[in-house]
Chains A and B, each alone.
Chain A
Amino acid sequence: MKRVLLLFVLFGLFAACGSDDNSPQPTDDFDRKAMLSHWADNVIVPGLEANVADITTLVTAAEAFRDNPADNEFQTLKTAWLEAYKEWQRIGIFEIGKAEELQLISRMNLYPTDASGIEENIAVGDYNLDLPSEKTRQGFPALDYLLYGIAADEAAVLAKFQDAAVGSAYRDYVVGVAQKMQSMLQTVLEDWNNGYRETFVDNDGNNATASTDRLVNDYIFYYEKHLRAGKVGIPAGVFSGAELPGNVEGLYSRQYSRDLLAISLDATEDFFLGRSYDGSVSGPSLNTYLEELGTTKGGTALADVIVDQWAVALAEIQSLNPNLYEQVNTGNTAMLRTYDALQINVVNLKVDMLQALNINVDYVDADGD
Chain B
Amino acid sequence: MNNTPGTYWQKKSSAAPLATFRILFGLLILASLIRFAVNGWIEKLYLEPSFHFTFYGFEWVKPLGIYTYGLFIIGGLSAIGIALGYRYRLSVLLFFLSFTYIELMDKTTYLNHYYFVSLMSFLLLWLPAHRYYSLDALRKPSLRSATVPAWSIDAIKLLLAIVYFYAGLAKLNSDWLFSAQPLATWLPTRYHLPLIGPLLKQEWVHFAMSWSGAVYDLAIPFLLWHPRTRAFAFVMVVGFHVLTRILFPIGMFPFIMIFATTIFFDAKLHQRFLDGLSKLGQRLGLRRNVTSAPEVSGGLAVQSVFRQKLVLPVLAVFFALQLLLPFRYVLYPGELFWTEEGFRFSWRVMLMEKAGYAQFKIVDSETGKRLYVDNSEFLNAFQEKQMSFQPDFILEYAHYLAKVYTERGFHEPEVYVESYVALNGRPSQPFVDPAVNLAAIKPSLKHKSWLLPFNDEIKGL
A interface list, Cβ under 8 A from B? 1, 3-8, 10-12, 14-15, 18-19, 21, 23, 25-29, 32, 204-207, 225, 229, 233, 237-242, 296-298, 302, 343, 346-348, 350-352, 354-358, 361-369
Q: Which of B271-293 contact A (CB under 8 A)?
A: none
Q: Name A28's contact: one of B177, B191, B372, B376 (CB within 8 Å).
A: B191
Expressed in whole angstroms, the minimum distance between the Cβ of A251 and any Cβ of chain B is 21
Minimal beta-carbon separation of B192 from chain A (angstroms): 5
Q: Offer 18 A-B interface pairs, CB within 8 angstroms, sorted by A.
A: A4-B196, A4-B239, A6-B239, A18-B211, A19-B204, A25-B184, A27-B188, A27-B201, A29-B201, A206-B189, A206-B190, A207-B249, A240-B371, A347-B420, A354-B355, A355-B353, A367-B113, A369-B350
Nearest A residue (CB) for B408: A241
Contact assessment for B359 and A25 in the assembled complex, using a CB-CB cutoff below 8 Å: no
How far apart are the CA atoms of A312 and B77 in the complex, in Å? Answer: 61
CA distance A181 to B39 in the complex (A): 36
Chain A, Cβ-Cβ closest to B186: A358
B109 in contact (CB, < 8 A):
yes
Given A7-B239, A362-B382, answer yes or no on A369-B349 (Cβ-Cβ < 8 Å). yes
B109 touches A11 (CB 8 A): no
**Residue on A nearest B238 in the bound complex, by CB:** A3
Docked pose: A240 CA to B381 CA in angstroms? 22
What chain A residues lie within 8 Å of B190 (beta carbons)? 206
Q: Is the CB of A350 within 8 A of B189?
A: no
Residue of A nearest to B248 (CB): A368
The answer for the CA separation of A346 and B382 in the assembled complex, in Å, is: 18
Q: How far is the CA of A312 from the CA of B334 in the complex (A)?
A: 35
Contact of B355 among A207, A241, A242, A355 (CB under 8 A): A355
Closest Cβ of chain A to B346, distance in Å, is: 12
Which residues on A sit within 8 Å (CB–CB) of B425?
A: 355-356
Which residues in A have their C-beta under 8 angstroms from that of B357? Answer: 346-347, 350-351
B185 within 8 A of A: yes
Q: How far is the CB of A206 from chain B (nearest CB, A)?
A: 4
With CB as the reference atom, state the residue of chain A lying closest to B112: A369
Question: Given contacts A18-B208, A19-B204, A351-B421, could you give 7 more A-B pairs where the C-beta distance is less than 8 Å?
Answer: A15-B204, A23-B179, A206-B189, A347-B357, A348-B428, A366-B382, A368-B248
Across the interface, which residues of A come within 8 angstroms of B355, CB to CB?
350-351, 354-355, 361
Interface residues on B, range: 35 or more
B242 within 8 Å of A by Cβ? yes
Q: Contacting A14 at CB < 8 Å: which of B195, B208, B380, B381?
A: B208
Min CB distance, A234 to chain B, in Å? Answer: 9
B112 — which chain A residues lie within 8 A by C-beta? 369
Select the residue from B191, B215, B349 with max chain A CB neighbours within 10 A: B191
Query: Which residues of chain B are near A26, meaning CB under 8 Å?
Result: 184
- In the A-B complex, the 6 residue pairs with the smallest Cβ-Cβ separation, listed nearest first, are A28-B188, A15-B208, A367-B251, A206-B189, A362-B381, A18-B211
Residues in B lying within 8 Å of A, measured CB to CB: 39, 41, 44-45, 109, 111-113, 177-180, 184-186, 188-192, 195-196, 199, 201-209, 211-212, 215, 235-236, 238-240, 242-243, 246, 248-253, 349-350, 353, 355-357, 359, 362, 364, 369-374, 376, 380-382, 384-385, 420-422, 425, 427-428
Query: Within 8 Å CB of B427, what residues of A?
Result: 296-298, 302, 352
Residues of A within 8 A of B236 (CB): 7
Chain A residue contacts of B208, Cβ below 8 A:
8, 11-12, 14-15, 18-19
Q: How far is the CB of A299 from chain B (nearest CB, A)?
A: 9
- Cβ contact within 8 Å between A239 and B372: yes
* In contact, A351 and B422 (Cβ under 8 angstroms): yes
Per a CB cutoff under 8 Å, which of B249, B374, B428 touches A352? Answer: B428
Contact B207 A19 (CB under 8 A): yes
How far apart sit A168 and B256, CA to CA, in the bound complex (Å)?
71
Given the interface pairs A15-B207, A366-B109, A367-B251, the reply to whether A241 lies near B382 with Cβ below 8 Å is no
Q: Which of chain B's residues have a CB closer than 8 A to the CB of A343? A: 359
- Give the distance to chain B from A244, nearest Cβ to Cβ, in Å: 11
User: Are A229 and B420 closer than 8 Å at their CB atoms?
Assistant: no
- In the bound complex, CA of A237 to CA of B371 (Å): 7
A328 vs B425: C-alpha distance in the bound complex, in angstroms?
40
- Determine the distance from Cα of A367 to Cα of B420 in the docked complex, in whole angstroms: 24
Determine the distance from Cα of A61 to Cα of B178 in the docked complex, in whole angstroms.
Answer: 66
Least CB distance, A260 to chain B, in whole angstroms: 22
Which A residues are in CB contact (< 8 Å) with B45? 364, 366
Per the bound structure, the CA–CA distance linking A135 and B235 in Å amounts to 59
Is A347 touching B428 in the complex (CB atoms < 8 A)? Answer: yes
CB closest residue in chain A, given B240: A7
A233 x B372 contact (CB < 8 A): yes
Q: How far apart are the CA atoms of A288 and B112 in the complex, in Å?
A: 37
Least Cβ–Cβ distance between B32 and chain A, in angstroms: 10
Point out the residues of chain A lying under 8 angstroms from B371, CB to CB: 237-241
Question: In the complex, what residues of A have CB within 8 A of residue B384's CB?
Answer: 362
Q: Taking each of B113, B189, B207, B353, which has the highest tally of chain A beta carbons within 10 Å of its own beta carbon?
A: B189
Which listed residue, A7, A302, A363, touches B381 by the CB 8 Å rule? A363
Contacts of B211 in A (CB 8 A): 11, 14-15, 18-19
Tell me which residues across on chain B come within 8 A of A354, comparing CB atoms: 355
**In the complex, A303 Cα to B189 Cα: how many Å?**
19
B160 to chain A, nearest CB (A): 17
Taking the closest CB of chain A, its distance from the CB of B413, in whole angstroms, is 10
Is B111 a contact partner of A351 (Cβ separation < 8 A)? no
The CA-CA distance from A263 to B82 in the complex, in Å, is 63
> Is there contact, CB below 8 Å, between B113 and A362?
no
Taken together as a complex, chains A and B put the C-alpha atoms of A356 and B204 apart, in Å, by 19
Q: Are A8 and B199 in contact (CB under 8 A)?
A: yes
Contact residues in A for B207 (Cβ distance below 8 Å): 15, 18-19, 21
Residue of A nearest to B198 (CB): A29
Query: A residues within 8 A CB of B380?
Result: 362, 364
Is the CB–CB distance between B374 and A229 below 8 Å?
yes
